[in-house]
Amino acid sequence: MAELPQPVRGTQSLLGEAADRFHAVVAAFDRVRRLYGFQRIEIPVFEATSVFSRTLGETTDVVSKEMYTFDDKGGDSITLRPEFTAGIARAYLSEGWQQHIPLKVATWGPAFRYERPQKGRFRQFHQLDAEIIGAAEPAADVELIAFASQLLDELGQGTRVQLKLNTLGDSETRGAWRAALVEHFEAHRNDLSPESRARLTKNPLRILDSKEHSDWPIADSAPLIDDYLTSEASDFFAAVTAGLDAAGIAWTRDQRLVRGLDYYRHAAFEFCTTELGAQNQVIGGGRYDGLIANMGGPATPAVGWASGIERLAMLIDAPLPETAEVALVPLGAAAEAAAQWIGADLRRAGIATHTAFRGNMKKRMAKANAGAARLAIIVGDDELARGEASLKTLATGEQRAVALSGLVEAIRAE
């Protein structure tokens, strides 16, 4: 016997409740993005590799270890998207979206990273993404964070997550702070983990959020960005926090929350939960004013966030199962044939209808009850000859004859 095909490691297939949880997250995201005036967009699932290597940085784990990259038949290097922001920035530049600034966009779909699968993390995973491009005002940061907060509220997680916030300052702030961090970490080089020693020359800010316990005391004693904030950067962060306070969104300062790449500026934020173990971040984002210029475009302010759909789906209660309003139970050859047009007419009228395909009367009615339909339409050959069907209320067992021509009206009257 041939061996059955197996899923690729780090992928999953969803059915029933698991799929319902997934799409409950997507549906909530779509409701909230409409409330905030974010346009839905679609972008390709793959891009030229340079789109990601230039924006994510050659030294990051995503680029150096995790991207699914291949040469296509034309010899071009192509990468399956590991995240959305770079592709959105590329589309902003190449599709003429500059004319729409400030541009508020949202999307969701699959992304791909070759990493060790674990709870809530897959090699093919799915993200929600929201971006505001072309708005330099702190109010844009506040609105974007409020969008994320309301989404979590809609999913019943508002009291179960914590918003962590930090500032990365402006370019002057970041440069001075980076130099001070390098000096500090150089003085402790021999005590750093091998990974942090490698980051010291490539991406020193990432040492602050090292997962190696031996690095924590050194990170905790590192210079704080507040000592290097320019007045402009300080005012920007104060405006963001004041806006969150005004909107009634609770937050806590986390000075170890960083973004390693140089194009990040000002506010960085994460919504975290204690219910997913080590994978505690459910939404993360920040301001990336330098990204579009880094891609060769004009200097353009932007802020955005992303969230893993799988992680959010693990947190929420299962939605009520989708049920049919009517179960159609045909009995006999003529009734089986008539069920095709009866069911089609009901669905065209907007009545959700499930057809019981097989089994005797008892089995088909059991199937109708198991599907939690409200009504059953029983059509036998004799009823069909009279132009009738039996309409049964499943909760009470009450049953009455109804003309086929009046089925829609009878169902709506129930």
Please report the pLDDT score of residue 367 as a whole number: 62
Give the least confident one: 75-79, 274-278, 339-343, 410-414: 274-278
- Asked if pLDDT for residue 322 goes beyond 90, the answer is no
* CA 217, 219, 222, 227 torsion-angle sign: negative
What is the rounded CA–CA span in Å between residue 391 and residue 89?
A: 57
- Asked if pLDDT for residue 62 goes beyond 70, the answer is no
What is the rounded CA–CA span in Å between residue 30 and residue 38?
A: 9
Please report the pLDDT score of residue 370 as a whole number: 58
Per-residue 3-state assignment (H helix, E strand, C coil) for the chain: CCCCCCCCCCCCCCCCHHHHHHHHHHHHHHHHHHHCCCEECCCCCEEEHHHHHHHHCCCCHHHHHHCCEEECCCCCEEEECCCCHHHHHHHHHHCCHHHHCCEEEEEEEEEECCCCCECCECCEEEEEEEEEECCCCHHHHHHHHHHHHHHHHHCCCCCCEEEEEEECCCHHHHHHHHHHHHHHHHHCHHHCCHHHHHHHHHCHHHHHHCCCHHHHHHHHCCCCHHHHCCHHHHHHHHHHHHHHHHCCCCCEECCCCCCCCCCCEEEEEEEEECCCCCCCEEEEEEECCCHHHHCCCCCCCEEEEEEEHHHHHHHCCCCCCCCCCEEEEEECHHHHHHHHHHHHHHHHCCCCEEECCCCCHHHHHHHHHHCCCCEEEEEEHHHHHCCEEEEEECCCCCEEEEEHHHHHHHHHHC
What is the rounded CA–CA span in Å between residue 52 and residue 48?
A: 8
**Tokens, residue 80:** 């399956």
Give the least confident one: 193-197, 206-210, 371-375: 371-375
What is the pairing mode between strands 388-393 and 375-380? antiparallel
- Round to the nearest angstrom and report the end-to-end CA distance of the chain: 53
Q: CA torsion 214→215→216→221, rounded to 10°?
A: 130
* Mean pLDDT to the nearest integer, 256-277: 85
- List the domains of the chain with CATH numbers: 17-170+230-315 (3.30.930.10), 326-413 (3.40.50.800)
Please report the pLDDT score of residue 359 as a whole number: 57
- Asked if pLDDT for residue 365 goes beyond 80, the answer is no
Mean pLDDT score of the chain: 89
Task: Work out the pLDDT band at 16, boundaries 50, 70, 90.
Answer: confident
Cβ-contact 380, 360 below 8 angstroms: no
What is the rounded CA–CA span in Å between residue 40 and residue 105?
A: 6
- Range among 180-184, 205-209, 335-339 rated most confident: 180-184
- Range among 144-148, 276-280, 349-353 rated most confident: 144-148
Residue with tokens 């590799």: 49
Please report the pLDDT score of residue 333 as a whole number: 85
pTM for the model = 0.87
